[in-house]
Structure 1
């Protein structure tokens, strides 16, 4: 027999996969008490997104369904946990970029997934290493996510690491994207602190790299 919590996750997942914003929003709103945003994220929103992520990996659903599910959850989280909410003050400061790569879908999925988990994100688009390093300092970014589709731009991470080292920037770098999936040692070669296989893994990797630095 499924628990009430499991039933809630399953129903919420179904609403997301059918792209029913209204139904998904009503489910969360019906459980929201005003101070349980992170509880809803950890017990309902994140588990549902993880299930959807696994379904995409196994070929059961289209990438567009995963992306839209993340976007809907991002919108819901913004209503129960606004960007200026005091509850977010202890969340790590995250930046995300493609380091010049114009292919944005991977970055958008990761960004939406992180936002749906309560993180505030500084989105630097396809900005190059020099500009990214400047923005990271200005925004106090603790972890930078770099998603690339092209191999030559994956090596831009090495340039970024050199700049960080030269300027004493302590920001951690987590990479992802096709080049790092094809070569599982590439992330270390370019000087990243970790690699996230997908959006789901990115959340755990943020806390892993920050834990190592403490």
Structure 2
């Protein structure tokens, strides 16, 4: 029994050290976070042939990537990371890849990036080395939160900084940040002025915009 207590104490100490190290890493990486649009490409909004010709020399957004990590139900240490790239001009998949790996890092709320980012970063780096590199994503959609995160630096931010890519965090769960609780978001959803909108801007009590709520996803989530 005494050895069991010693083992538990050692594990708790190791976990505490990991958390401290992760916080320091988040703080360091967050200094490199860019929250204003500074990418070279433009959104494709051509409405006429003349306009299209004017934009021929401008880099347009064309390749959008999506990444996710799934875990085995039989063995939670076994994971499959996936990268898919879509050509938004014709909605065709131009690249896809995956990697099955064993993960020793446990899931800890607020620190998902330290569990999943290395897998996803490796997939992106692997793509750069292949013939498919011309399809390398200009924008990356990530199954995880971005700045709407307890420490303002979720998986999408973490991966975006390391990969030097603009990212959009697609979170399945709402983090209670800056007064944005589930009940408050529900009030925004039920407000008359939002009844015909496709999405609602998530503005916190401070006035800061943290993201947007897709109404279809919210209503069915």
- Whether the TM-score (by the shorter chain) exceeds 0.5 is no
Which of the two has greater strand per residue? 2
Q: Which has the higher contact order (CA 8 A, sep 6+)?
A: 1
Report which of the two has the higher share of helix: 1
